[in-house]
Structure 1
Amino acid sequence: MIFSNISSIYQFHAEFFLPELQKRMEDWHRNPRIGDVIQKLAPFLKMYGEYVKNFDKAVELITAWSEKSPPFQELIADIQKRKVCANLTLQHHMLEPVQRIPRYELLLKDYVRKLPPQSPDRGDAEKALEMIFMVAKHSNAAIAEMERLQNLWVVYQRLGLEDDIVDPSNELIKEGPIQKISTRNNSTSEKYLFLFNNMLLYCVPKVIQVGAEFQVHLRMDVGGMKVRELKDTEFPHTFLVSGKQRTLELQARSEEEMNDWIQAFQDAIDRKEKRSETFKTAVHGLETDTPALKVVCARCSDYKAELQYDGNRPNRVCQECFIFLTGHTVLEDREGKHKGILEKGAAEVSSRSLLCSSLQLLDKNGKGGTRGWFVIPQDDPLVLYIYAAPQDVRAHTSIPLLGYQVRDLPQSECRHLFQLVQSRQVFTFVADTEELKRRWMKAMARSAAGITEEEEEDEDEAE
């Protein structure tokens, strides 16, 4: 749990990246280029995302076990005394892989800047730099998305799994305790608010917290909501939230807290209204046969254009609107590079895949699990994408396959089982048939070994 997939990262560098670069440097006088090498191997660098996601948890584990386990503390101290550690802490060495991709980007920028204008490597080096930039960008986006969904799941658990909020479109804006003012008996009672981008959950803290901290009493839509401060001498720091379902008179603990809540509500309302206005514009465009403006979420597009209705500030738009508004063209071969590791549609990927089918991924105890649509794309053959269904436009997770071992399991209760194993990380799959299981095992083993379809074809031709 501390070192995550560092063994796979090391294997990639030791067996692939470093030998390729060394081979090129030995032949530098005849072929002075590295851009093509980096382009070929850049997709492998996506595996750093897994390590970076785990880093904070890893450091917490070291700190926790150093405090509660003297033998563990002694072991770490002994390691850090060794000459190879150069008087640096274990945490310092663990930070190196986190900084590796940004370091590659800086080195490659410097390399491109110093290349002569007519260098044979200029075109490849610039493309390689773009690919490294996108790896870093999409890795960070995947990490942020994972953290956001994890936060939603924590809230979901605190609500006792009563409310369906774990949805990719939901974003938690603010939460906290609040006092509800009752006008009937002129008293207050303690409540708790969860404000999302599209709804407000008005909750009551549970006295006996068995499985949940709160019970949802009311769900209010942000659409059509209004918020304003109330001037009440008897109940200071109060504000009014009115929506389609109900009106709430709420009291904060201070003026600063009240202003924070009002600002959070107003931000959510403004964002909702902006989305609604964009939708109306799009519908109007369709009705009048004029180009309709489609503003999209951050995860759906990398294209930005200045929008008149938003003070000419840059907003993310779809590709068609980007071309229409800016007059710029978008090369088809670049379109794929704008899609992150989780952003390729299932149908698009499945049509150009090494293997795709329905599988079941079992949970850790091997009893339950999630059935989904699993794909290994031709253009990304070292990553397994997992979709909820074949028609989904977005993968909900992915597994970098390089370095894993594929393990066969005996048939159990008519289930065709196999595993991906690396250190303590184990994924157990169930295929519908034994033949399908064998196909998946072969495809995953090939990807785990770093063998691409092109390399297989070259070997076949050589034979």
Structure 2
Amino acid sequence: MMNQEIDLNLTLSLGESVNVGMGGGEPEREKEREWTEEEIQKIVIIQRAIKRYLERFEKKIDRRRTRDAIAMELYETEKSYGKSLNSIINRYYGPMEENKFLSKNSLNTIFMNVTQIFELNLEMTSKLQLKIGEWGKYSTIGDIFLYMTPYLALYKDYCGGYHHSISKLEEKRDAYPKLSQFLDQNFMETGVQLASLLIQPIQRIPRYKLLLEQMLKNTEEDHKDHELVAKALEGIEGVATYVNESVRERQSMEKILELKKKLTGDVPNLFLVEKRIFHIEGVLGKVCRKTTKNRTFFLFSDILIYAVKMENSPIAEQYKFHRAIDLFKASIIDVPDKPGMEHGFQLLSKTKSFTLLAENFIDKQKWMGAIRTVINDYRERHGDCSTSGVGGTQDDEDDGSAPAPVWIPDGDAKTCMLCPVKFTTFNRRHHCRRCGKLVCGACSGKSYHLENLGKTARVCDNCYTELSGEEKERDKSMASFPNDSKKDKSKRQTTSVTGLSFFGKKKRDDDDDSPDSPPPSPRPPPLAPPGMSNNTNPGASPPPGAPPPPPPPPAKRNKPGPVRNTSFPSNAPPSRPPPPGSAPT
């Protein structure tokens, strides 16, 4: 037996055979098996299938674990939410009603329907507790939220009155010292303000929406809870949208109140437009006549406000208001980069147009996208989708609301753009209010009523000729409507026959480093003596049919006589006083 060799054939996965001898000899390897191409492909396919199965199985396990964690989070956060509601009722509403700090109407305004929301919370917590207690692979949670859907109107009512609730609370707190002391004492004990508790029902609905979206994402489509969660999510999304809009309106109202305190100067009433929404604010470079100046811009849902920050103001972040631009007919244009004008774009509006420079490309895209979105939404709300907020349209020119031009900076032109005259200290630059070109005083001595500005303004000679020609064409086309023609002509008529007009003292615009001087006004001729013609030309003949002018009166001549010396030498004796009773000389 000891000398007998036992051969064991061990077939390996690679097709190898090894002879193992008990005599201690080296194992002998047989020739490796040669695998065919078809067999190798089958093995690879099997390996890939096993790998995909294991990956799907791991993902399924992860989704199931995530689903379980979401269900537990819904239950735990609902319990915490209930504690906050309980604190509102038992620590604030009950004692304030018992001690009669406020009237019944004021309490209803501040706390609204919070007691009904608390009752709904208690029932939700009870149902979730039962679900979590017997939670398993096939448990459902969507049916609880389907049950809650009809009661979501309570949250809509609460969100609708939240702004008045906070305003009333602050008003009564300032008016009643006992109430203020009571609120401060509760804050010292709990570390939470009443206003922070009152906002939690508004924050709860978006939380429901977020958790149900995650639950739907991690529930298998063949699971019976998938359809229940999807239906419950549809009902909550409508309420969540309403709540988000209410929160956004409240935040915008707070921003408007804050901005109203910070702005000084001739600030417009920011509360005239209902539901004005604040979007973004930031600092942009505004290209003015001589230099680029930093301005702080505030973008709302219908206007763009810009102001300059006051450095030495006693109040933190005080701004001097400059202008509010209506964005209904506004548009934006991208400006290619050039030295000194990087990351720029132009804002065109009916009353004012200018170039803005952002700090970097990301800020430029952010501001252009935000302004474009506001313009498009503004027009959709008013039923005007003629433009997309980029560039201008022919419709704007047809209705007389063409945007104001972007003024060419003073440094871009050394001579007049209409004649070769150079600009000097005495020959100053002027901007045409219609085309924005830099022209001299001789080439901009006329004015015209511009529809987009709603007033008579300085225009260059080219624009005046063009506008006058258009006016003549309109007068010809409206000759068959004399009444309308008179009204339109009186509206467009300049302040003088020759096109020259008197410019009153105007408020200096922030774009004007040195304000334009008014165009020269014609001087009236000197008044002639009575009976004489007012014609200053001596060689001109009188008009036909007029009586001949009277001859000029003879010149008076002084009679010759002794010349009296009215001067007295310094050494002359003083004159004697007149005798008493004599008349004064």
What interval of TM-score do these two structures reach, taking the shorter chain for normalisation? 0.3 to 0.5
TM-score by length of 2: 0.29
Bigger CA radius of gyration:
2
Instruction: Between the two structures, name the one with larger relative contact order (CA 8 Å, sep ≥ 6).
Output: 1
Larger relative strand fraction? 1
TM-score by length of 1: 0.36
